Structure 1
Amino acid sequence: MELKPEQLAAQLDAGPLRPAYLIAGPEPLRVLEAADAVRAAARRQGFAEREVFEAEGNQREPDWNALAASFRAPSLFASRRLIELRLPSGKPGKDGAEVIAEFCADPPQDATLLITAGEWSKQHGGKWSEAVARVGQVAIAWAVKPHELPDWIERRLRARGLRAGRDAVQRLADRVEGNLLAAAQEIDKLALLSDGGTLDVERMEALVADAARYDVFRVIDAAMNGQGAQVSRMLAGLRAEGEAVPGLLGMVVMELQRTAALARVAARGGNLASEFKAQRIWDSKQPMYRRALQRHEAARWETFVAEAGRVDRMAKGREAGDAWVALERLLLAVAEPRARRLLAVAH
């Protein structure tokens, strides 16, 4: 049976870990938190070893032979092991599917397999995921729909010991615009700042951040996730609120430079996982960068960085043009490869 990630997390205290878990879906926060719940349960149950398998360097897939060998090998310290398999694409391929199915056919007594995937659809599943479901559990983190977001926020508020009126909950939902990570961060902050009373709209407005730095993170995330419509809407909101382009560009340039560095590593077949660690990019954010890297080659990211410099010159009056229009065209090009022609029009 397919579970929601939150249902899986709630069941983990009911008994020993099962041989296998598959947690997948397009909502990174829900995938990350469910996987963290499995890891925490493993620690409570005495799992002393943890191995991680994922694609590295110029490989498109993990080393399936190494994974199969790990399944067969006994624990070094006669302890239980949590073996993690990370599949950003959600597709193990023929060889990977066979390795996973063989594990599930005869799971070793000392190991639990945790598979996480950043993408999922009806077409992603197959005999391998059905094998996981037979011996373990499958949890799919579908994106929270707009009409579901207030209920999601209200449940998370209650879990943090907070109460809020329905209007206040809706105000927070309107602000985060479907970004669960942003909502979670705001709720954690509310837990620190709240005086214990029920939050009404006015109190919510007073406590929820309204800083441009926070807003520009949301704009950049929308661009990196390919959400062009949200980019345009949020930029229009920032402009209407009186924000200035130079105040936003610092974070835009930083993120473009970071992604360009990741693209250079990927282009030369380097270890992308190590670069994520070097750049201090959270696990929950890595699928976003991977999706963005798939849309554009390394040279194009360098072009985006250069274009950001041109926007900066416009904003400072050193080059003719509307800096807001140029910034929107740049971020739309990041979000959608077909929008690159907008950059050509700008020159």
Structure 2
Amino acid sequence: MELRPEQLAAQAGKQPLQPAYLIAGPEPLHVLEAADAVRARARADGAEREVFEFDGREPDWNALAASFAAPGLFAPRRLLEVRLPGGKPGRTGAEVIGAFCADPPPDTHLLIVADEWSKAHHGKWVDAIARCGVVAIAWAVKPHELPAWIDRRLRERGLRATPEAVQGLAERVEGNLLAAAQEIDKLALLAPEGTLDLATMQSLVADAARYDVFRLLEASLSGQPAQVRRILAGLRAEGEQVAGLMPMVVRELLRGAALAQAQARGANLAAEMKAQGLWEARQAPFRRALQRHSAPLRWTRFVAYASRIDRAAKGRGPGDPWQLLERLLLAVAEAPATRLLAGGGR
């Protein structure tokens, strides 16, 4: 069957574990919450959990296949979790997954989690999971959908807010559901009784003037290298982790790439920015960045470098992630700094 990730998260604790799950998509909060719900149910059932990391190196699908047939060492039930960031198992992986789904052992459950997803990822192995288990794709929440999403999340936490307050929070988090969820959890602890108005909301959520990733990206796009260094130092001092910043960094770079492509083909840039969900106040930094980096290939290079940073931040690649992130954002901020991306020093 196919469910929305929110449906899966709500149902997982009330229903028996299915033989197989595929949870994937570009919206990390929904992927995380749905996968956590499956893991929690497995723990409640006393299942032993085994994790397979297939992150681009030669995946050992034979090891997974062997594990399907092996008995659990410490528990009668098992949850085998496959982390497949790119969302493509290849021919061998698809065959292994398909074979499992055709005759799943009664005491073994398969959970596949992927970050990337599109219609091109669909295949027979996905259909096999849907037949015996659950497929949940976490599509990104569109800008016009964000206020309604925030309102629902507030109500789930027992909160009420005026439309102006909801819109204010939507503008504050700018499409980042992880940030929105964190702010709403904070509001659940701090908010007074009654309906939150805009002034109360603004007083309780994170101060927009504090060093945060949104201002960091704005400084980079606007061409303010000194501000980039200062904000990065502030984020690091506050204990932020590069891995937590990268989804937002990648999102903005992908927006820049789409805008550069639109500009190159002579499309209406204002219309494209609106289609990308950029509020008017956020358009100026992108316009300045496109003046410095008009070639779409340059933005493709930025995105590829961001992938390198993400790997380093997760311990899957070489380099100091903070230093690599600084090089990338400085390259966006000033064209001559793109030489830093060649891997050399300063």
Do they fold alike, i.e. is TM over 0.5?
yes
Question: Which residue does the alignment assign to 1:191?
Answer: 188
Question: Which residue does the alignment assign to 1:31?
Answer: 31
C-alpha spacing 1:48/1:2, structure 2 compared with 1 (3 Å): closer
Distance 1:283 1:84 in 2: 25
Question: Which residue does the alignment assign to 2:92?
Answer: 95
TM-superposed CA distance for 1:139, in Å, is 0.4
> What secondary structure is seen at the aligned counterpart in 2 of 1:2?
coil
Question: Which residue does the alignment assign to 1:63?
Answer: 60
After TM superposition, the structure 1 = structure 2 runs for residues 287-298 of structure 1, keeping only pairs within 5 Å, are: 292-294=306-308
Residues 25 and 138, structure 2, Cα contact 8 Å, conserved in 1: yes
Computed over aligned residues only, the root mean square deviation of the Cα atoms, in angstroms, reads: 4.0
Distance 1:230 1:286 in 2: 14
Distance 1:164 1:7 in 2: 24
Question: Which residue does the alignment assign to 2:7?
Answer: 7
Q: Which amino acid aligns with 1:137?
A: V
TM-superposed CA distance for 1:11, in Å, is 2.1
Unpaired stretches in structure 2, ≥5 consecutive residues: 251-302, 341-345
After TM superposition, the structure 1 = structure 2 runs for residues 159-308 of structure 1, keeping only pairs within 5 Å, are: 159-210=156-207, 212-213=209-210, 215-219=211-215, 232=221, 247-251=230-234, 292-294=306-308, 305=323
TM-score, scaled to structure 1:
0.70
Residues 25 and 31, structure 2, Cα contact 8 Å, conserved in 1: yes
TM-superposed CA distance for 1:106, in Å, is 0.6
TM-superposed CA distance for 1:33, in Å, is 0.6
Distance 2:318 2:40 in 1: 41
Distance 1:52 1:71 in 2: 13
Structure ranking higher on relative contact order (CA contacts 8 Å, 6+ apart): 1
TM-superposed CA distance for 1:342, in Å, is 5.6
C-alpha spacing 1:332/1:287, structure 2 compared with 1 (3 Å): closer
Unpaired stretches in structure 1, ≥5 consecutive residues: 223-228, 260-280, 310-327, 334-338
Count residues in correspondence.
284
Residues 168 and 204, structure 1, Cα contact 8 Å, conserved in 2: yes
Per-residue CA shift, 1:242-287, capped at 9, x if unaligned? x9666414046789xx86xxxxxxxxxxxxxxxxxxxxx5799799
C-alpha spacing 1:191/1:291, structure 2 compared with 1 (3 Å): farther
TM-score, scaled to structure 2:
0.70
Residues 28 and 287, structure 1, Cα contact 8 Å, conserved in 2: no
Distance 1:80 1:283 in 2: 36
TM-superposed CA distance for 1:302, in Å, is 7.3
> What secondary structure is seen at the aligned counterpart in 1 of 2:119?
coil
User: Are 2:341 and 1:330 aligned?
Assistant: no
Q: Which amino acid aligns with 2:36?
A: D
Residues 332 and 338, structure 2, Cα contact 8 Å, conserved in 1: no
TM-superposed CA distance for 1:305, in Å, is 3.4
Distance 1:64 1:192 in 2: 45
Distance 2:137 2:305 in 1: 19
C-alpha spacing 1:16/1:252, structure 2 compared with 1 (3 Å): closer
Residues 190 and 208, structure 1, Cα contact 8 Å, conserved in 2: yes
Residues 165 and 201, structure 2, Cα contact 8 Å, conserved in 1: yes
